[in-house]
C-alpha cells in the first residue's frame, strides 16, 4: 500500500507497525500532515496493556477514539485481550494506515473516519480511550455523555505545563482549577484532571472510580471506571503550608489549589495484581513497581530537596531516609512523581526530625526555596 509520506516498519510491544518515517525529537512530539506516532509514548501503551488485561470487568467492546497509526488499538487487541475493537480517527490517511497495521498483525476490527465527539454518541462501549495530540478536554464531555454505568475511560493529557503549574491561568480556563508549580506539581496535575473528570461525571449523576493514574515522560495518564452516584465526592482544595506540606482548605483561601481529587489515585487491589508482560520495557516495569509500592499511600509527598533547603543540611540517601521513617513506625516509600520524593504518613515534624538525624555533617547553605 502506498502512502503520501515515507513509512518505516517498527516493533512495539507485541505489535509490528508501519509508521510515518519522519524526524522526531524527544518529548511530546510535533504535529504534521501525517498520522501521529511518538515512540516515547510506548511507556504509556505498555502500562495501558497491563492495566486493561486486569480490568475489573470484561471489556467486550473498546473504542480507540483518536487512533492515529492504530498503535495503541493494535496493542490493546494483541496484549490485553479486549473484545470487539473499533478505531477512529478524523484523518483518512490515518485510517488507511490503521487498516494496514491491522492487516500486518492479523487483526479484525472496525475502522471509522470521523470526529470522535460525534461518533462516540452513536454507540456504547465498555471502554473508550482518549489519547489526543494536545489537551483531552474538547472530547471529554461527549465521552462522559455516552458512558454508561461501569464504563471505563482512559485519558492522556500532554498539556502538562498547564496542569502542573507553569500556566495556572490557562489551567483555570481549561480545567476550572488552579494549579501550582512546585515539586508536587505532577501529582497536583493528575488530581486536577481527575477532579475535572469527576465534575463531568457528577453532572451526569455518576462518579468516577480511579483504577490507575500516573505521570511519565511528558504526559499524565488516568484510567477511571464510572459508577453510580453514591454520595460525597473526594473533591476539595489544598494550600501549600510549607515545603512538601499540602493541607486541605477552602476554595476561598488565598493561594488555594484546586478543586482537585483528594481520594486514592487508583484501586490498590487492582494495582497490586498488575505484572509486567513479556514485551514490557524495562522502564515500564520500573514504573509499575513504583506505582504498586505507593498505591495505598496518602496523597502528596515530600522531597529531600525541599527538606535540605528548609533545614539547610545536605540530604541523606533516599533509601536511608525511608528506612529512618519506617524505623519509628511510619509507612514510607519512593514515589514515581519525583526522583527524590517520598510518600509517607509521617507528620512534617517527624520527617524533619528524621532528616536532621540522618543528614551528613555539613550545611548546604541558604539554597532558597525549593521549586
Query: Cα(112)–Cα(154) distance, rounded to whole angstroms?
Result: 19
CATH number at residue 84: 3.40.50.150
**363: in domain:** no
239 shares a domain with 330 = no
264 shares a domain with 329 = no
Last residue of a domain, one of 288, 315, 338: 288
Last residue of a domain, one of 232, 256, 288: 288
**365: in domain:** no
> Residue 317 belongs to what domain range?
302-358
Last residue of a domain, one of 261, 288, 315: 288
Q: Indicate the pTM of the whole model.
A: 0.93
pLDDT tens for the 371 residues of the chain, in order:
778 788 899 999 999 999 998 765 555 555 556 788 999 899 999 999 999 999 999 999 999 999 999 999 999 999 999 999 999 999 999 999 999 999 999 999 999 999 999 999 888 999 999 999 889 999 999 999 999 888 999 999 999 999 999 999 999 999 999 999 999 999 999 999 999 999 999 999 999 999 999 999 889 999 999 998 877 889 999 999 987 899 999 999 999 999 999 999 999 999 999 999 999 999 999 999 999 999 999 999 999 999 999 999 999 999 999 999 999 999 999 999 999 999 999 999 999 999 999 998 655 544 443 43
Grid cell at residue 95: 485510517
**33: in domain:** no
253 shares a domain with 211 = yes
Please give the tally of structural domains in the chain. Answer: 2
Query: Cα(115)–Cα(142) distance, rounded to whole angstroms?
Result: 11
321 shares a domain with 269 = no
CATH number at residue 308: 3.30.56.70
The two beta strands, 61-64 and 127-130, are parallel
Query: Cα(207)–Cα(338) distance, rounded to whole angstroms?
Result: 29
Grid cell at residue 355: 532528616
338 shares a domain with 271 = no
149 shares a domain with 85 = yes
Give the long-range contacts of residues 165-168, CB within 8 A, separation 24 or more.
165/189
114 φψ region: left (φ > 0), alpha (ψ -120 to 50), beta (else): left
Amino acid at each position: 500500500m502506498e502512502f503520501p509520506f515515507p513509512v518505516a516498519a517498527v516493533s512495539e510491544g507485541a505489535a509490528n507497525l508501519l509508521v510515518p518515517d519522519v524526524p522526531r525529537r524527544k518529548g511530546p512530539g510535533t504535529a504534521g500532515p501525517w498520522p501521529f506516532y511518538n515512540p516515547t509514548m510506548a511507556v504509556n501503551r505498555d502500562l495501558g496493556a497491563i492495566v486493561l488485561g486486569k480490568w475489573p470487568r470484561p471489556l467486550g467492546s473498546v473504542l480507540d477514539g483518536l487512533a492515529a497509526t492504530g498503535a495503541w488499538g493494535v496493542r490493546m487487541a494483541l496484549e490485553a485481550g479486549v473484545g470487539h475493537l473499533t478505531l477512529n480517527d478524523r484523518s483518512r490517511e490515518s485510517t488507511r494506515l490503521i487498516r494496514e497495521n491491522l492487516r500486518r498483525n492479523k487483526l479484525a476490527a472496525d475502522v471509522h473516519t470521523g470526529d470522535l465527539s460525534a461518533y462516540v454518541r452513536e454507540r456504547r462501549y465498555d471502554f473508550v480511550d482518549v489519547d489526543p495530540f494536545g489537551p483531552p478536554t474538547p472530547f471529554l464531555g461527549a465521552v462522559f455523555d455516552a458512558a454508561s454505568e461501569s464504563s471505563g475511560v482512559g485519558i492522556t493529557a500532554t498539556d502538562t505545563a498547564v496542569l502542573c503549574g507553569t500556566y495556572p491561568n490557562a489551567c483555570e480556563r481549561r480545567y476550572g482549577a488552579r494549579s501550582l508549580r512546585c515539586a508536587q506539581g505532577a501529582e497536583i496535575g493528575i488530581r486536577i484532571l481527575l477532579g475535572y473528570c469527576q465534575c463531568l461525571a457528577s453532572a451526569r449523576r455518576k462518579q468516577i472510580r480511579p483504577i490507575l493514574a500516573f505521570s511519565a515522560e511528558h504526559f499524565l495518564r488516568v484510567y477511571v471506571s464510572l459508577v453510580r452516584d453514591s454520595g460525597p465526592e473526594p473533591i476539595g482544595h489544598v494550600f501549600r503550608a510549607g515545603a512538601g506540606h499540602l493541607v486541605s482548605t477552602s476554595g476561598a483561601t488565598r493561594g488555594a489549589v484546586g478543586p482537585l481529587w483528594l481520594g486514592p489515585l487508583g484501586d490498590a487491589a487492582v494495582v497490586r495484581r498488575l505484572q509486567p508482560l513479556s514485551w514490557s520495557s524495562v522502564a515500564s516495569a520500573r514504573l509499575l513497581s513504583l506505582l504498586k509500592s505507593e498505591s495505598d499511600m496518602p496523597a502528596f509527598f515530600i522531597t529531600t530537596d525541599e527538606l535540605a533547603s528548609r533545614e539547610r543540611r545536605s540530604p541523606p540517601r533516599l533509601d536511608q531516609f525511608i528506612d529512618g521513617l519506617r524505623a519509628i513506625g511510619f509507612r514510607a516509600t519512593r514515589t514515581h512523581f519525583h526522583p527524590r520524593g517520598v510518600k509517607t504518613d509521617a507528620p512534617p515534624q517527624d520527617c524533619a526530625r528524621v532528616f536532621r538525624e540522618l543528614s551528613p555533617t555539613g550545611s548546604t547553605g541558604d539554597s532558597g526555596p525549593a521549586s
